[in-house]
Amino acid sequence: MSIHPAFRMLPPAQDHLVAVRRAERLRELGISGDEPVPEFDAFARHIGETLAAAFAMVNIIGPSEQYFAGLYPSSADRGVDWKADEFRSMACDHGYCMHVLDRGQALALPEIAAIARYAVNPVVDEIGIHAYLGAPLTDHDGTILGTICVVDTEAHPGWDASALEWIKAQARELSSRIQRRAIGGRPGS
């Protein structure tokens, strides 16, 4: 059953100044938000495979779209040039990472269809997403730089409190790696 766009719940709105500061900080960290980062593709693979999810992302959220700087399966995995990969970006009104951004906290949706607020999101009908687990990537000053998430086309009742704690720990780990960029460390060091 497809939901007419007029009846879909809009995602939380971004504060424009916060979005601009986030974009500036990402540039300082060497993350452009419009091309893949091999380390992020590897990280997305790790979380996707660990949780047996169909897809996983390291999501850089810009003012008008989300860019998956890390994607599992990656463009290379699917034999697609990343510049032409339609799965590398998504409108901000698609998916659940905007809710993580707005809340500033991790979000587990083990069975999206069971929660009306989230069941009307376009990714349910357009991609067949039925489960989501995501957490914010946070800079040293508390600025949310983006998110990490896993999504699946099947419900995941096992994505419970322990899975939520695990994804939060993974987000802290990647946030630490990103921080090392700011202090002169090499990515992944």
pTM metric for this prediction = 0.86
Considering the domain boundaries, does residue 71 fall inside one? yes
From residue 79, alpha-carbon distances to 47, 73, 88, 129, 153 in Å are 21, 10, 13, 23, 22
Considering the domain boundaries, does residue 56 fall inside one? yes
**Each residue's pLDDT tens digit, 111-143:** 999 999 899 999 999 999 999 999 999 998 888
Considering the domain boundaries, does residue 92 fall inside one? yes
pLDDT at 22 (0 to 100)? 85
Reduce the secondary structure of 89-140 to three states and give it as a string.
EEECCCCCHHHHHHHCCCEEECCHHHCHHHHCCHHHHHCCCCEEEEEEEECC
Higher pLDDT, 32 or 170: 170
Task: Indicate the number of domains in the chain.
Answer: 1
What CATH number is associated with residue 151?
Answer: 3.30.450.40
Considering the domain boundaries, does residue 155 fall inside one? yes
Considering the domain boundaries, does residue 188 fall inside one? no
Residue 87 has pLDDT above 60, yes or no: yes
Residue 67 has pLDDT above 50, yes or no: yes
Considering the domain boundaries, does residue 187 fall inside one? no
Considering the domain boundaries, does residue 45 fall inside one? yes
The number of angstroms, rounded, from the C-alpha of 76 to the middle of its chain's C-alpha atoms is: 19
pLDDT at 16 (0 to 100)? 74
Which residues, listed in sequence order, are joined to residue 57 by a DSSP beta bridge? 71, 149
The alpha carbon dihedral of 83, 87, 91, 92 has a sign of negative
Considering the domain boundaries, does residue 1 fall inside one? no
**Each residue's pLDDT tens digit, 42-65:** 999 999 999 999 999 999 988 778
Residue 14 has pLDDT above 80, yes or no: no
Reported as a pLDDT band with limits 50, 70 and 90, residue 99 is very high
Residue 111 belongs to what domain range? 12-182
